[in-house]
Structure 1
């Protein structure tokens, strides 16, 4: 496997890891009764600074994935 594809897979894994952590924290908050299941706003402005930063980090990964993925795939295709 080329280093470019390996880097792309690592970037995707990181994006999914951030999502998993965010959803585990959200599920814990819902199951403990601290937040209603529909009580999350997109910016997480009612939650802790950690959750706000976690959501932003995940969105940054999603925003950068098409550019990074395109460059990694182009690099692989060009050899």
Structure 2
């Protein structure tokens, strides 16, 4: 296995960890009667501050998969993993780092750190997009 494939599996795995954590959080909220019903706002606005941050961390992974997962899958499908292998683990680390910052706090400091992690991912994806495009035109 190479870095691109491991990063894709890692990204999906991390998203699943957040999903299970969110499902557990919501289930416990109902059983502990801290939430009145099995209906939850999709944005997490009807639960505690941590529940909101957990919901947003999960949704950020889902929202970013379109371009991160898409580029990783494109590289795999076109045998262009030499383009993505070098930065695949950096991207995965930045994705996990962004989520962890989201879970820890919504203070101004953590929002800025979270943005740096997002910026790292965005720059890597822009570089990959350009490099993949140049390979095929």
Give the TM-score category using the shorter length. 0.7 to 0.9
| Residue of structure 1 equivalent to 2:21 | 21
Q: CA deviation at 1:74?
A: 2.8
Per-residue CA deviation, residues 31-56 of structure 1 (Å, 9 max, x unaligned), is 22222112x11122221111111111
Q: CA deviation at 1:67?
A: 1.1
**For 1:1-79, what aligned pairs fall within 5 Å after superposition?**
1-35=1-35, 36-38=37-39, 40-76=40-76, 77-79=79-81
Q: CA deviation at 1:68?
A: 1.1
The Cα RMSD (Å) is 1.3
Partners of 1:48 and 1:34 in 2: CA distance? 9
Q: Point out 4+ residue stretches in structure 1 off by more than 2 angstroms.
A: 73-76
State the secondary structure of the residue aligned to 1:43.
coil
The structure where helix makes up a greater share of residues is 2
- Normalization by structure 1: what TM-score? 0.86
State the secondary structure of the residue aligned to 1:14.
helix
Q: Which segments of 5 or more consecutive residues in structure 1 lack a partner in the other structure?
A: none
- Normalization by structure 2: what TM-score? 0.53
